[in-house]
Chains A and B, each alone.
Chain A
């Protein structure tokens, strides 16, 4: 919502482009390998992942422009690595605001300063703030630049039926209606997914009932970028307030609705202004400000039992809704897109068996459940659901005024990347490694002379080997396009990977470790790779 007198897209800082529906009509019904319904950040990330692997897609979006507000503003380090893989990180790096720390206050007194993991070996900071319109605009630049993505604006998917070799979609745009068949469909149509409803699937899970007003203001103030959390501030007695700085002098203020406060009342412009004015006074922001946009968001934990339905895969918010505290809504969805993208590409290229696709649900649903577990911990602190949890929070906050250990209970601890440990395509260790990224985990970055280790990885699979690897052609014989990265057996990378001469890691296109060996033979790597492409690595039941 926006202040009275301003239209839905009348932003103070963002000029919304307008995109027309396709003019040329003759090719619209040409069958597609992959159709993607919804060009939010997740649908676009999926199209870019496919394009990078050489796969064409048709991307259908109902709207004529980007979404109406800043929404998901926190982009994580792991998403930056994904963006880099997609060749789209540059604009994000230029525009967004990196941050590593945050502070929490109880009744105006600081009770916690936390720092997220960040080392000399990390190329990207743990978190970057960027309004979702920019996220979409920058992804769209990459989409528009790709010959392999047929993006169709104002194109509403209204029905879907199964056919012998995929699905047929009915699409309506202002210039007419048509049908299009696709071998595979990615449903990236958001939290209210129409495809999910058409296929009679339901999101399941818990509702934490915490409802937050999210509001953006424009205010010019030069200060360190960090996250503020206010517990029980005078402006919202009994409530919590979160403050994030965004580019273009925009600030995000999230605050919880009081018990008994109706959404209707909370969303009135006058109450928004009053709450924000009180909050700014309390944190000592005395600069003039303008109200930009506001909305409401609730702390749900909901997901599908199965992310696949025949030829359809649900990705992003259509498959799961996560609470805002974990700042994972968008980041989790981008990982979905990347995960299904490379697998589907290998299947369409005839390199992998369709069974590889069965690993999508366990991997990505597992990641969502992990987000839930972390977010529920935060939610239990931010919005305690019972007397016991309220009492403990009171105890922790009041103790934290004098005892720093108790402030740690307010630490959001939001970013530990998920490990696909139980995946059918992760090979459990048979050798003893004392450290290094375990199978299923995201590969670790390492600062090398003028670059970072992850910069050397390819778009397909990568074999990272320490010291020479004999007969790499055997691996290349199992799958073309494997990248080989050699590191010295006594260097920094070897240390971080607990490697000696002969050690190798097999890394997936999404940067996760598939398998590792202390003493690797090309024939073994090739055999494991083949098993992965067949959808099941032996020894995993």
Chain B
């Protein structure tokens, strides 16, 4: 088996959003975050990262 990379995480999240469907995608992503937060058990750091994620909230414009 090849070593998993961030690319694989990227792909799994993208496919996960597609599988969840638009009305459940936020819940899916929130679950992922909570699971990761629990796993790294450093709530301070998680809160910093959540603040980071709130910056630059513009993605690509819809062309």
Contact = CB atoms under 8 A, between A and B. Distances in A.
A398 B59 CA distance: 6
B33 to A, nearest CB: 12
Contact of A239 (B10, B17, B25, B63): B63
Contact of A386 (B14, B57, B60, B63): B14
Contacts of B63: 236-239, 258-259
- Sort A-B residue pairs by CB-CB distance and give the 10 closest, nearest first: A394-B59, A238-B63, A388-B17, A388-B18, A388-B14, A237-B61, A258-B63, A398-B56, A392-B14, A232-B60
Contact of A397 (B7, B13, B17, B60): B60
Contact of B62 (A238, A396, A402, A403): A238
Interface string B13-50: 11111110010010000000000000000000000000
10 contacts: A232-B59, A236-B63, A238-B61, A387-B17, A388-B13, A388-B18, A391-B17, A393-B60, A396-B10, A398-B59
A107 B56 CA distance: 11
Nearest to A384: B14
A299 to B, nearest CB: 16
A387 B18 contact: yes
Contact of B60 (A380, A394, A401, A403): A394
Contacts of A395: 59
B16 A388 contact: yes
Given A391-B25, A402-B55, A409-B7, A238 B60 contact: yes
B22 A387 contact: yes
Most buried by A among B13, B14, B58: B14
* Majority secondary structure of chain A interface residues (helix, strand, loop or mixed): helix
A405 B6 contact: yes
Given A394-B60, A398-B56, A386 B10 contact: no
Contacts of A258: 63
A232 B61 contact: yes
Interface residues of B, number: 24
A153 B25 CA distance: 59
Given A232-B60, A402-B56, 8 more contacts: A386-B14, A388-B17, A388-B18, A389-B14, A391-B14, A392-B13, A397-B60, A403-B52
A393 B10 CA distance: 9
A401 B60 CA distance: 13
Contacts of B58: 107, 398
Nearest to B62: A238
B53 interface: yes
B45 to A, nearest CB: 14
A401 B14 contact: no
A409 B13 CA distance: 14
Interface of A: 107, 231-232, 236-239, 258-259, 377, 380, 384, 386-399, 401-403, 405, 408-409
Contacts of A386: 14, 18
A440 B57 CA distance: 47
A394 B58 CA distance: 8
B61 A402 contact: no
Nearest to B15: A388
Contacts of A384: 14
Most buried by A among B13, B18, B19, B60: B60
B7 A377 contact: yes
A446 to B, nearest CB: 28
B19 to A, nearest CB: 8
Contacts of A237: 61, 63
Nearest to B18: A388
Contacts of B19: 388
A388 B13 CA distance: 7
Contacts of A409: 6-7, 10
A99 B29 CA distance: 40
A238 B61 CA distance: 4
Contacts of A392: 10, 13-14, 17
A399 B58 CA distance: 10
Nearest to B56: A398
A211 to B, nearest CB: 12
Contacts of A399: 52-53, 56
A231 B60 contact: yes
A405 B60 CA distance: 19
Contacts of A390: 59-60
Given A387-B22, A392-B17, A409-B7, A401 B59 contact: no
A408 B11 CA distance: 14
Nearest to A232: B60
Nearest to B58: A398
Nearest to A398: B56
B4 to A, nearest CB: 14
Contacts of B57: 398
A272 B7 CA distance: 35
A407 to B, nearest CB: 12
B21 to A, nearest CB: 9
A377 B6 CA distance: 13
Nearest to A406: B6
Contacts of A387: 17-18, 22, 25
Nearest to A386: B18
B32 to A, nearest CB: 12
